[in-house]
Amino acid sequence: MVGIINYGAGNIFSLTAALNRLGIAYGMVNDGQDFEQFDRYIIPGVGHAGAAMHKLEQTGLVPKIKALNKPALGICVGMQLLTSHSEEGDAKLLEIFPINTLRFANSTEYKVPHTGWNQVYPEKENELFKDIPAGSHFYFVHSYFIEYNIAYTLSSATYNTKFSASIMRDNFYGVQFHPEKSGAYGEILLTNFSKL
Protein backbone atom coordinates (compact mmCIF):
# COMPACT_ATOMS: atom_id res chain seq x y z
CA MET A 1 0.00 0.00 0.00
CA VAL A 2 1.23 3.49 -0.88
CA GLY A 3 1.63 6.12 1.84
CA ILE A 4 1.27 9.69 0.55
CA ILE A 5 3.39 11.99 2.69
CA ASN A 6 0.94 14.74 3.57
CA TYR A 7 2.73 17.95 4.54
CA GLY A 8 0.49 20.59 3.00
CA ALA A 9 2.53 21.29 -0.17
CA GLY A 10 1.25 18.69 -2.59
CA ASN A 11 -1.49 18.46 -5.18
CA ILE A 12 -2.98 15.43 -3.45
CA PHE A 13 -6.27 15.37 -5.39
CA SER A 14 -4.93 14.68 -8.90
CA LEU A 15 -2.59 12.04 -7.49
CA THR A 16 -5.27 10.25 -5.46
CA ALA A 17 -7.65 10.40 -8.45
CA ALA A 18 -5.02 8.62 -10.58
CA LEU A 19 -4.35 6.00 -7.88
CA ASN A 20 -8.11 5.42 -7.54
CA ARG A 21 -8.43 4.94 -11.33
CA LEU A 22 -5.61 2.40 -11.26
CA GLY A 23 -6.93 0.54 -8.21
CA ILE A 24 -3.73 1.24 -6.23
CA ALA A 25 -4.45 1.26 -2.50
CA TYR A 26 -3.11 4.28 -0.60
CA GLY A 27 -3.39 6.20 2.66
CA MET A 28 -1.96 9.36 4.19
CA VAL A 29 1.23 9.72 6.22
CA ASN A 30 0.47 12.54 8.66
CA ASP A 31 2.91 11.67 11.45
CA GLY A 32 5.84 9.40 12.19
CA GLN A 33 3.73 6.47 13.37
CA ASP A 34 1.88 6.28 10.04
CA PHE A 35 4.99 5.09 8.16
CA GLU A 36 4.65 1.56 9.55
CA GLN A 37 1.34 1.01 7.71
CA PHE A 38 2.82 1.26 4.21
CA ASP A 39 5.28 -0.60 2.00
CA ARG A 40 6.12 2.36 -0.29
CA TYR A 41 5.74 6.14 -0.23
CA ILE A 42 5.04 9.11 -2.50
CA ILE A 43 6.27 12.62 -1.70
CA PRO A 44 4.12 15.01 -3.75
CA GLY A 45 4.88 18.68 -4.18
CA VAL A 46 3.85 21.78 -6.06
CA GLY A 47 4.97 25.39 -5.82
CA HIS A 48 8.10 26.70 -4.12
CA ALA A 49 10.81 24.20 -3.04
CA GLY A 50 12.06 26.35 -0.15
CA ALA A 51 8.54 26.82 1.22
CA ALA A 52 7.78 23.10 0.74
CA MET A 53 10.93 22.14 2.67
CA HIS A 54 9.94 24.50 5.47
CA LYS A 55 6.49 22.86 5.69
CA LEU A 56 8.08 19.41 5.65
CA GLU A 57 10.44 20.35 8.49
CA GLN A 58 7.49 21.62 10.55
CA THR A 59 5.85 18.17 10.38
CA GLY A 60 8.83 16.51 12.05
CA LEU A 61 8.82 13.81 9.33
CA VAL A 62 12.28 14.63 7.88
CA PRO A 63 14.32 12.09 9.94
CA LYS A 64 11.81 9.34 9.10
CA ILE A 65 11.93 10.14 5.38
CA LYS A 66 15.74 10.14 5.32
CA ALA A 67 15.77 6.77 7.09
CA LEU A 68 13.34 5.04 4.70
CA ASN A 69 14.47 1.72 3.27
CA LYS A 70 11.30 1.00 1.27
CA PRO A 71 10.61 2.47 -2.20
CA ALA A 72 9.91 6.22 -2.10
CA LEU A 73 8.93 8.40 -5.08
CA GLY A 74 9.18 12.20 -5.14
CA ILE A 75 6.99 13.91 -7.76
CA CYS A 76 7.83 17.40 -9.15
CA VAL A 77 8.77 19.55 -6.14
CA GLY A 78 8.71 16.29 -4.16
CA MET A 79 11.60 15.14 -6.36
CA GLN A 80 13.45 18.43 -5.92
CA LEU A 81 13.19 18.04 -2.12
CA LEU A 82 15.33 14.88 -2.41
CA THR A 83 18.30 16.93 -3.70
CA SER A 84 20.84 18.84 -1.61
CA HIS A 85 20.04 22.45 -2.45
CA SER A 86 17.62 24.52 -4.53
CA GLU A 87 18.26 27.92 -6.07
CA GLU A 88 14.57 28.54 -5.34
CA GLY A 89 14.71 30.30 -1.98
CA ASP A 90 18.41 29.33 -1.62
CA ALA A 91 17.10 26.33 0.33
CA LYS A 92 18.92 23.39 1.90
CA LEU A 93 16.86 20.29 1.14
CA LEU A 94 16.82 16.61 2.23
CA GLU A 95 20.30 15.85 0.83
CA ILE A 96 19.39 12.29 -0.18
CA PHE A 97 20.91 12.98 -3.62
CA PRO A 98 24.18 15.00 -3.67
CA ILE A 99 22.98 17.10 -6.62
CA ASN A 100 21.27 20.48 -6.92
CA THR A 101 18.06 22.01 -8.20
CA LEU A 102 18.76 24.91 -10.57
CA ARG A 103 16.65 27.55 -12.34
CA PHE A 104 16.12 27.45 -16.10
CA ALA A 105 17.63 30.42 -17.94
CA ASN A 106 14.87 32.49 -19.54
CA SER A 107 15.18 33.20 -23.27
CA THR A 108 13.00 34.22 -26.20
CA GLU A 109 12.99 30.63 -27.44
CA TYR A 110 12.54 28.90 -24.07
CA LYS A 111 9.93 30.41 -21.76
CA VAL A 112 10.06 29.70 -18.05
CA PRO A 113 8.25 27.85 -16.58
CA HIS A 114 8.72 24.83 -18.82
CA THR A 115 5.08 23.81 -19.23
CA GLY A 116 3.60 21.03 -21.33
CA TRP A 117 4.53 17.72 -22.90
CA ASN A 118 8.15 16.74 -23.41
CA GLN A 119 9.91 13.56 -24.45
CA VAL A 120 11.73 11.51 -21.83
CA TYR A 121 14.64 9.21 -22.67
CA PRO A 122 15.90 6.40 -20.41
CA GLU A 123 19.52 6.55 -19.28
CA LYS A 124 19.44 3.25 -17.35
CA GLU A 125 17.35 0.10 -17.34
CA ASN A 126 14.89 0.20 -14.45
CA GLU A 127 11.58 -1.41 -13.49
CA LEU A 128 10.05 2.05 -12.94
CA PHE A 129 10.03 2.57 -16.73
CA LYS A 130 9.05 -1.00 -17.67
CA ASP A 131 6.83 -1.04 -20.81
CA ILE A 132 7.40 2.70 -21.44
CA PRO A 133 9.10 3.30 -24.83
CA ALA A 134 12.09 5.66 -25.10
CA GLY A 135 10.95 9.11 -26.17
CA SER A 136 7.49 8.82 -24.55
CA HIS A 137 5.86 12.14 -23.68
CA PHE A 138 5.20 13.21 -20.08
CA TYR A 139 3.63 16.39 -18.70
CA PHE A 140 5.90 18.97 -17.03
CA VAL A 141 5.27 22.23 -15.14
CA HIS A 142 8.46 23.62 -13.56
CA SER A 143 10.84 26.57 -13.50
CA TYR A 144 13.61 24.65 -11.72
CA PHE A 145 15.33 21.45 -12.82
CA ILE A 146 17.59 18.78 -11.36
CA GLU A 147 21.11 19.05 -12.73
CA TYR A 148 22.05 16.16 -14.97
CA ASN A 149 24.38 13.66 -13.29
CA ILE A 150 24.79 10.23 -14.87
CA ALA A 151 25.31 8.63 -11.45
CA TYR A 152 21.72 9.39 -10.42
CA THR A 153 19.84 10.11 -13.67
CA LEU A 154 17.30 7.42 -14.56
CA SER A 155 15.90 9.34 -17.54
CA SER A 156 16.54 12.70 -19.14
CA ALA A 157 14.71 15.42 -21.05
CA THR A 158 15.89 18.59 -22.77
CA TYR A 159 14.54 22.12 -22.50
CA ASN A 160 17.32 24.57 -23.43
CA THR A 161 19.54 22.23 -21.40
CA LYS A 162 19.59 18.49 -20.73
CA PHE A 163 18.24 17.73 -17.26
CA SER A 164 17.21 14.78 -15.11
CA ALA A 165 13.58 13.91 -15.81
CA SER A 166 13.88 11.14 -13.21
CA ILE A 167 16.48 10.11 -10.67
CA MET A 168 17.26 7.07 -8.54
CA ARG A 169 19.50 6.29 -5.59
CA ASP A 170 19.00 3.03 -3.67
CA ASN A 171 15.27 2.95 -2.76
CA PHE A 172 14.65 6.62 -3.58
CA TYR A 173 13.18 7.69 -6.92
CA GLY A 174 12.12 11.06 -8.26
CA VAL A 175 10.25 12.25 -11.35
CA GLN A 176 10.17 15.89 -12.43
CA PHE A 177 7.07 15.38 -14.58
CA HIS A 178 3.57 14.68 -13.26
CA PRO A 179 2.77 11.00 -13.94
CA GLU A 180 -0.78 11.57 -12.68
CA LYS A 181 -1.30 14.06 -15.55
CA SER A 182 0.69 12.19 -18.20
CA GLY A 183 -1.93 9.87 -19.67
CA ALA A 184 -1.30 6.19 -20.30
CA TYR A 185 2.48 6.23 -19.77
CA GLY A 186 2.13 8.12 -16.51
CA GLU A 187 -0.33 5.48 -15.34
CA ILE A 188 2.08 2.69 -16.32
CA LEU A 189 4.81 4.41 -14.28
CA LEU A 190 2.59 4.69 -11.19
CA THR A 191 1.59 1.04 -11.59
CA ASN A 192 5.26 0.04 -11.95
CA PHE A 193 6.08 1.97 -8.78
CA SER A 194 3.32 0.14 -6.90
CA LYS A 195 5.06 -3.16 -7.81
CA LEU A 196 8.71 -2.24 -7.12
Q: Model confidence over 120-138: pLDDT tens digits? A: 999 999 999 999 999 999 9
Q: Over the stretch 47-80, which tens digit does the pLDDT of each residue have?
A: 889 999 999 999 999 999 999 999 999 999 999 9
CA distance 111 to 109: 6
The pLDDT of 92-112, averaged and rounded, is 94
pTM comes to 0.96
165 half-sphere exposure, CB direction, 13 A CA radius:
28
Q: What mean pLDDT value characterizes the chain?
A: 95
Residue 106: what pLDDT?
84
Q: Active-site residues: which are they? A: 76, 178, 180
Which three-class secondary structure state does DSSP give residue 184? helix
Instruction: For residues 82-99, give the mean pLDDT.
Output: 96
pLDDT at 188: 98
Cβ-contact 128, 154 below 8 angstroms? yes
Taking the C-alpha atoms of residue 196 and residue 182, their distance in angstroms, rounded to an integer, is 20
Residue 109 vs residue 172, higher pLDDT? 172
Q: pLDDT at position 54, please?
A: 93
Query: Residue 20: its pLDDT value, please?
Result: 98
H or E stretch at 183: helix 183-195
For the residues 95-124, what does the mean pLDDT come to? 94
Residue-range domains of the chain with CATH: 2-195 (3.40.50.880)
Share of the chain above pLDDT 70, in %: 100
Q: What is the model's pLDDT at position 148?
A: 96
Query: CA 3 to CA 61: how far, in whole Å?
Result: 13
- DSSP, res 61: -
- Asked if residue 121 lies in contact with residue 132, where contact means CB atoms within 8 angstroms, the answer is no
Q: How confident is the model at residue 9 (pLDDT cuts 50, 70, 90)?
A: confident
